[in-house]
Amino acid sequence: MIPGEELIFCALGGSGEIGMNVNLYGCRGRWIMVDLGLTFADPSYPGVELILPELEFIETQQNRLAGIVLTHGHEDHIGALPYLAEELKAPLYATPFTAGLIAGKLEEEGLAGHVKLNPVERGGTIELGPFRITFVALSHSIPEGNGLLIETPFGNVFHTGDWKIDETPVIGEAPSTEVLREIGDDGILALVCDSTNVFQDKPSGSEDSVHAGLLAQAAEAKGRVLVTTFASNAARLQTIGRVARETGRQVCIAGRSLDRILRVAQSTGYLIDFPPPISFDEAMRLPKTEVLIVATGGQGEPRAALGRIAGGTHDLKLGEGDTVIFSSRVIPGNETAIGRIMNQLSDLGVTIVTERQAHVHVSGHPGRPELVQMYEWVRPEIVVPVHGEARHLREHARLALSHGVPKSIVQEDGDVIRLAPGEPKKVDEARVGQLVLDGDVILPADGATINERRRIGYSGLITVAVAVDREGQLAGPPLVRPFGVPVEEDREDFVADATDAATRAYSPGGDEARTREAVRLAVRRCATLWTGKKPLVDVTLLAVR
């Protein structure tokens, strides 16, 4: 599909799912991409941590891709760049803090010189083919959240990125409502907008409001205080630093992503007055009431700092009378992992504080009143909900229509939508899908490798090696080895039985494939009798002389 005299929108990720945002705009033979994010894998992808978007649709016409514009530095918006940007050969555009995070990622992957990264000043404008794009500062839970005003020959789009309304954002200026109104005055064809919190009746709340809650908890605490939060939330770090000063505590930082964010933030002018962190040793030597630890791992990641502290395998220790504050929300899917860590902390005698007990967190996404406010500011002709699962997108479309927006389009990944000219409608379908990063290899998420791994994971594997002499007779008993088959202490008896089964199933001089299949079925039947499971069975016939 090559865009003609029209304005096309197509999401390759992030519409119909939360995570992995990739959006395309097409016009007069050119495309721009907005964001290129990833998703974290769940346990249904054994051995895999990262999920990436399938980009074949744009890769096959990458000479038409004028640039990749990044709204902000969260993983679901920039995380796939180190794996997929080089192939696309398009330059990247981002404001300085986001660009700093991207530069770090590219460097880690050895791509620093291979992908062109262009920092754009806040509020800056770039021209890419028929698109004129202006970065519009909005609030979010990371410095430099940007909406994009995308001007085209067929009308203007306001692509919000992730955003919220925050009059007192702690870091950076409050977004200018004047600017948003002016954008509306010039006429907005389509508002492509964050749907994450469309089911929240209340506004997200100001970042500044978290200070009082954190201060009260830290002031009250009789032992060490540990606060866990999303590393990228620099405003939260700023608040935590302030609380530490106000309560006479020294700050200790635990977690590599926190170190990295601090470095990038300070090099781009943020967190300049953050207290100089103390070492783990020092934190353990100081009186308990003089220590405030900031740690990663609030989503229950077992190898992150908090997980290791809770498990007692970290240099930092917590115990009776200490307090852990979860200054974060539970990302759906992480409940069990977080619960496990909370139980470990509880066993240590630690007091746990979450957003349920105290006001220690605010969301970075707009609730319903904020969405309605945005419609009033920019007055779009069409609302295109993105950044949500199917239920979020449909609810967001309903909300827009019920608040005076003339049209809304519910689309999902792969729908090619013509926004103009004429009525907005789906005109084509792009190929979409998920890839996994498995070790250093990128694979289809539900292809042969992952399916095989799942089968081995669920049922186990038995290998059978059958040695055959020149006459086609067995040169010895077949060698049976089970892996992950639940035979435990019966292992030897099971192996003996399976070896017998394989021996009986072997018929000399027959067709090789048929013989192998007969042995495979016999061993599998034996395993099913012993365990009720149907493991994978792999049979090898070896000619010996």
Residues 191-250 that bind Zn ion (CB under 5 A): none
Minimal distance, residue 302 CB to Zn ion, in Å: 24
- What are φ and ψ of residue 266, in 5° steps? -70, -30
Which residue number, 254 or 264, has a Cβ lying nearer to Zn ion?
264
Amino acid at 146: N
Which residue number, 162 or 301, has a Cβ lying nearer to Zn ion?
162
Nearest residue to 495 (alpha-carbon basis) of 523, 521, 467, 520:
523
Which residue number, 81 or 189, has a Cβ lying nearer to Zn ion?
81
Contact pattern from residue 40 through residue 59 relative to Zn ion, giving x for each residue in contact according to CB under 5 A and a dash for the rest: --------------------
Minimal distance, residue 387 CB to Zn ion, in Å: 6
Which residue number, 17 or 162, has a Cβ lying nearer to Zn ion?
162
Residues 104-163 that bind Zn ion (CB under 5 A): 162
Which residue number, 162 or 322, has a Cβ lying nearer to Zn ion?
162
Minimal distance, residue 172 CB to Zn ion, in Å: 14
Contact pattern from residue 154 through residue 173 relative to Zn ion, giving x for each residue in contact according to CB under 5 A and a dash for the rest: --------x-----------
* Tokens at 36, concatenated: 């290129």
Minimal distance, residue 192 CB to Zn ion, in Å: 13
Which residue number, 130 or 172, has a Cβ lying nearer to Zn ion?
172
**Listed ranges 4-12, 69-77, 115-123, 149-157: which one lies at the site for Zn ion (CB under 5 A):** 69-77
Which residue number, 144 or 162, has a Cβ lying nearer to Zn ion?
162
Give the C-alpha separation, 16 to 9, whole Å. Answer: 15
- How many positions of this chain bind Zn ion (CB under 5 A)? 3
Which residue number, 139 or 247, has a Cβ lying nearer to Zn ion?
139
Give the C-alpha separation, 333 to 355, whole Å. Answer: 18
Minimal distance, residue 166 CB to Zn ion, in Å: 14
Give the C-alpha separation, 34 to 24, whole Å. Answer: 6
**Listed ranges 68-76, 113-121, 122-130, 149-157: which one lies at the site for Zn ion (CB under 5 A):** 68-76
Minimal distance, residue 77 CB to Zn ion, in Å: 6
**Listed ranges 70-78, 175-183, 252-260, 507-515: which one lies at the site for Zn ion (CB under 5 A):** 70-78
**Listed ranges 76-84, 229-237, 368-376, 490-498: which one lies at the site for Zn ion (CB under 5 A):** 76-84
Amino acid at 72: H
Helix (H) or strand (E) holding 340: helix 335-347
Give the C-alpha separation, 545 to 233, whole Å. Answer: 68
**Listed ranges 73-81, 165-173, 415-423, 513-521: which one lies at the site for Zn ion (CB under 5 A):** 73-81
Place of tokens 């435990």: 488
* 3-state SS class at 282: helix
Which residue number, 76 or 322, has a Cβ lying nearer to Zn ion?
76
Nearest residue to 377 (alpha-carbon basis) of 204, 202, 149:
149
Minimal distance, residue 285 CB to Zn ion, in Å: 38
Which residue number, 74 or 159, has a Cβ lying nearer to Zn ion?
74
**Listed ranges 67-75, 436-444, 497-505, 517-525: which one lies at the site for Zn ion (CB under 5 A):** 67-75
Q: For the residues of 212-257, what is the DSSP string, one character each?
A: HHHHHHHHH-SS-EEEE--TT-HHHHHHHHHHHHHTT-EEEEE-HH
Nearest residue to 75 (alpha-carbon basis) of 14, 138, 165, 10:
14
Q: State which of residues 54, 75, 76, 438 lies at the interface with Zn ion (CB under 5 A).
A: 76
- 392 near Zn ion, judged by CB under 5 A: no
Amino acid at 178: E
Give the C-alpha separation, 274 to 238, whole Å. Answer: 6
Minimal distance, residue 303 CB to Zn ion, in Å: 23
What number of other Cβ atoms are within 10 A of residue 290's Cβ? 15
Cis peptide before 276 (omega within 30 of 0): no
Give the C-alpha separation, 385 to 396, whole Å. Answer: 6
| Residues 43-46: contacts with CB under 8 Å, at least 24 apart | 44/454, 45/436, 45/445, 45/450, 46/450, 46/453, 46/454, 46/457
Nearest residue to 1 (alpha-carbon basis) of 428, 420, 425:
428
Minimal distance, residue 155 CB to Zn ion, in Å: 25
Minimal distance, residue 185 CB to Zn ion, in Å: 28
Minimal distance, residue 18 CB to Zn ion, in Å: 7
> Helices marked H in 126-233 — which ranges?
177-185, 210-220
* Tokens at 424, concatenated: 């907005």
Handedness of CA 498, 501, 507, 512 (dihedral sign): negative
Which residue number, 76 or 166, has a Cβ lying nearer to Zn ion?
76
Minimal distance, residue 230 CB to Zn ion, in Å: 10
Q: Do residues 413 and 40 make contact, with C-beta atoms less than 8 angstroms apart?
A: no
* CB-based burial label for 73 (10 Å; 0-12, 13-18, 19+): buried
Which residue number, 162 or 497, has a Cβ lying nearer to Zn ion?
162
DSSP-assigned letter for residue 120 = -
Minimal distance, residue 72 CB to Zn ion, in Å: 6
Q: Which residues are paired to 74 by β-bridges?
A: none
Q: State which of residues 30, 74, 236, 516 lies at the interface with Zn ion (CB under 5 A).
A: 74
Which residue number, 74 or 368, has a Cβ lying nearer to Zn ion?
74
> Where along the sequence are the contacts to Zn ion (CB under 5 A)?
74, 76, 162
